[in-house]
């Protein structure tokens, strides 16, 4: 293997992770204290060596960075203070960009300068659609988002855009899959990928592995809340769509689904609040937070916050709700449509990586 260090990549990693990663002395302590690292070819010691040498190709195609839940044990105990957790986090950003289809989308989404575009573009498109639909009237009373943005148009617009996202994601997954197979050929595969996938899902929904983290316990709980809040809300949304088609809409407040939705909000709100709080006030343990993290976290947080505003506006018949609704849709766009290009993509890569680890027979 001929090695050519990529100095630019080292600089970028250092900048993003704020970790003195070159200082690694290759003791392997990080691998040891990591509760999630596999027995065979464990991480993150090897990643740290590649990082110190600027071996970009190896790193961005390395599936192991996705096994990491960034609990920070490795950083806490690192004898050299090189913060492997933060390095891996930066690498995951690079991996998302690397696998993004089209890749320029990934790259753009990681530039802070692109943020206004990423928000104004959806806003413009939504307003354009509303203008075309002729429903752009914020004075309609009582407040009814369904007439403001007719469900059929909403579902078809967002649906088709989401389809594009899914197609992009499929290509991303394909390239990720290739990396997986190249890195760890599934020679010893004992079971089908599907079975492994189910196991992985079980592991993820229980946060069983995540729970092993020692340094930042709160992260597990916060993520657990966010994860389940999101899942519940996903079902609530599905139900809402069905409800629009088959039953009544808006769903009454006493409906269990509505109640579940509100509980999910509380979960999401609490979880995300903890995450943001910890990232601001407990930097040492939470690890380094860069734009890539902030933009996702804050947009997600705003998205969550706009939910009850809409709900309250509807019940209080406050016409300002329409503006919030547009804002809400812009944020939904950012989170859902841009999923493969933001930190949200971790959901996909990590699930596949965890499933593949089981599938490949690697211990």
Partner 1 sequence: MTEKMIGIYICTGCDIGNCIDVQKLCDGVSEEYNPDVVQTRPSLCHAAGPDLIKNDIKEKDLNGVVIGACSHRFHNKTFSFDKEILTERVNLREQVAWSQEARNEDTQMLAEDLMRMGLAKIKSILNPKPYIPEDPSKNILVLGGGISGITAAIEGAKAGYEIILIEKEDMLGGWSNNLFKQIPLEPPFQEPQERIISEKILELQGNKNIHSFLSTNIEKISGEPGNFKVLLSKSGEQTSLKAGAIVLATGWKPYDANKLTHLSYNSSQDIITNIEFEKMANDGNIRIPSSGKDPKSVVFIQCAGSRDKGHLPYCSNYCCGTSLKQAKYLLNIFPETNVYIIYKDIRTPGHYEEFYKHLQNEERLFLTKGDVREINVNGGLEVDFQSDLFREEIRIDADLVVLAMGMTPSNSEDLNLAYRKGKGLPELKYSFPDSHFICFPYESRRTGIHAAGTARAPMDIPSSMEDAGGAMLKAIQCVEATGRGESVHPRSGDQSWPELYMQRCTDCKRCTEECPFGSYDETESGTPLPNPARCRRCGICLGACPERIINFSNFSINSVSEMIRAVHVPDEFEEKPRILAFVCENDAYPAFDMAGLKRLKYSSFVRIIPVRCIGSINKVWISDALSQGFDGIIQIGCKPGDDYQCHYIHGSELTEKRGENIQETLDKMMLESERIKTVFLEINEYDKIPDIINDYVEEIELVGMNPFKGM
Partner 2 sequence: MRNPILVIGGGISGITTAIEIAEVGHEVVLVEKLPYLGGKVIKFHEYFPKLCPPYCGLEINFKRIRENPRIKYFTSSTIEKISGDKGDYQAVIRHEAQMVNNNCTACGACVDVCPVERENEYNYGLDKTKAIYLPHELAFPFKFTIDENACKKQACSKCVEVCDYNAIHLNAIPATTDLKVSSLVFATGWEPYDANKLEILGFGKHPDIITNVMFERFTAPNGPTGGKLLRPSNGETPQNVIFVQCAGSRDENHLPYCSAVCCSASLKHALKVREKNPEAKARIFYIDLRVTGRNEDFLNKVKEDEGIELIKGKAGKIEIENNEIYVIAEDIASGRRLKTKADLVVLATGIVPSAVESIENGTEGFLDQLQNGYIASGCAKRPMDVSASLKDATAAALKAIQL
Q: List residues near partner 1 by CB under 8 A.
A: 1-3, 5, 7, 10-11, 14, 20, 22-26, 46, 49-50, 52-53, 80
DSSP SS3 for 62:
coil
Please count the other Cβ atoms lying within 10 Å of the Cβ belonging to residue 3. Answer: 10
Q: Are 140 and 147 in contact (CB under 8 A)?
A: yes
Between 28 and 320, name the residue whose CB sits nearer to partner 2: 28
Between 41 and 315, name the residue whose CB sits nearer to partner 1: 41
Between 49 and 147, name the residue whose CB sits nearer to partner 2: 49
Answer with the entry of partner 2, partner 1, none that 22 interacts with (C-beta below 5 to 8 A by kind): partner 1
Answer with the entry of partner 2, partner 1, none that 112 interacts with (C-beta below 5 to 8 A by kind): none
x-marked contacts with partner 2 along 76-115 as a string, rule CB under 8 A = -xxxxx----------------------------------
Between 79 and 112, name the residue whose CB sits nearer to partner 2: 79
Q: Can you read off the two tokens belonging to residue 45?
A: 């010691």
Cis peptide bond prior to 235, omega within 30° of 0: no
Q: Does 284 bind partner 2 (CB under 8 A)?
A: no
Neighbouring residues of 143: CB distance < 8 A, sequence distance ≥ 6: 313, 314, 317, 318, 319, 321, 322
- For tokens 């079902």, name the residue: 235
Instruction: Tell me the longest C-alpha to C-alpha distance in the chain.
Output: 69
- Residues listed for the chain: 363
Among 8, 28, 112, 320, binds partner 2 (CB under 8 A): 28
Answer with the entry of partner 2, partner 1, none that 314 interacts with (C-beta below 5 to 8 A by kind): none
Please count the other Cβ atoms lying within 10 Å of the Cβ belonging to residue 266. Answer: 13
Q: Are 329 and 126 in contact (CB under 8 A)?
A: yes
Q: By CB under 8 A, which span of 29-37, 58-66, 118-126, 132-140 interacts with partner 2?
A: 29-37
Answer with the entry of partner 1, partner 2, none that 29 interacts with (C-beta below 5 to 8 A by kind): partner 2
Q: Does 215 bind partner 2 (CB under 8 A)?
A: no
d(CA 210, CA 223): 9
d(CA 146, CA 155): 11
Radius of gyration for the chain, computed over Cα atoms and rounded to the nearest angstrom: 22
Between 7 and 39, name the residue whose CB sits nearer to partner 1: 7
Answer with the entry of partner 1, partner 2, none that 40 interacts with (C-beta below 5 to 8 A by kind): partner 2
x-marked contacts with partner 2 along 41-60 as a string, rule CB under 8 A = xx--xx--------------
Q: Does 144 bind partner 2 (CB under 8 A)?
A: no
Please count the other Cβ atoms lying within 10 Å of the Cβ belonging to residue 106. Answer: 24
d(CA 236, CA 265): 11
Between 31 and 172, name the residue whose CB sits nearer to partner 2: 31
CB of 363 to partner 1, least distance (A): 16
Q: Does 29 bind partner 2 (CB under 8 A)?
A: yes
Q: Are 176 and 345 in contact (CB under 8 A)?
A: no
What residues make contact with partner 2 under the rule CB under 8 A? 25-33, 37-42, 45-46, 77-81
């Amino acid at each position: 293997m001929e090695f050519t260090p990529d100095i630019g990549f080292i600089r970028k990693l250092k900048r993003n992770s704020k970790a003195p990663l070159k200082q690694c002395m290759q003791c392997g302590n990080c691998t040891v204290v990591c509760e999630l690292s596999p027995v065979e070819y464990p991480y993150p010691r090897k990643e740290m060596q590649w990082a110190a040498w600027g071996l970009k190709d190896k790193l961005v195609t390395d599936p192991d960075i996705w096994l990491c839940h960034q609990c920070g044990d490795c950083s806490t105990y690192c004898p050299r203070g090189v913060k492997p957790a933060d390095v891996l986090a930066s690498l995951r950003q690079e991996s998302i960009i690397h696998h993004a289809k089209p890749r320029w989308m990934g790259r753009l989404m990681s530039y802070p300068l692109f943020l206004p575009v990423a928000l104004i573009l959806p806003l413009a498109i939504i307003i354009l659609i509303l203008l075309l639909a002729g429903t752009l009237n914020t004075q309609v009373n009582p407040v009814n988002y369904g007439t403001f943005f007719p469900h059929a148009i909403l579902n078809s617009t967002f649906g088709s855009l989401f389809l594009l996202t899914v197609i992009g994601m499929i290509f991303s997954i394909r390239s990720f899959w290739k990396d997986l197979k190249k890195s760890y050929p599934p020679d010893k595969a004992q079971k089908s990928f599907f079975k492994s996938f189910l196991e992985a899902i079980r592991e993820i929904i229980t946060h069983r592995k995540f729970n092993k983290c020692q340094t930042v316990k709160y992260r597990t709980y916060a993520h657990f809340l966010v994860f389940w809040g999101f899942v519940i809300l996903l079902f609530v949304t599905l139900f809402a769509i069905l409800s629009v088609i088959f039953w009544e809409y808006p769903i009454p407040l006493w409906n269990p689904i509505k109640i579940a939705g509100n509980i999910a909000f509380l979960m999401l709100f609490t979880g995300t609040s903890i995450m943001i709080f910890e990232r601001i006030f407990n930097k040492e343990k939470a690890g380094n937070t860069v734009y890539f993290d902030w933009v996702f976290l804050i947009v997600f947080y705003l998205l969550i916050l706009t939910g009850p505003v809409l709900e309250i506006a509807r019940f209080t018949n406050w016409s300002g709700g329409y503006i919030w609704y547009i804002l809400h849709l812009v944020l939904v766009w950012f989170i859902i449509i841009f999923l493969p290009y933001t930190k949200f993509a971790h959901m996909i890569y990590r699930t596949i990586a965890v499933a593949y680890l089981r599938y490949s027979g690697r211990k």
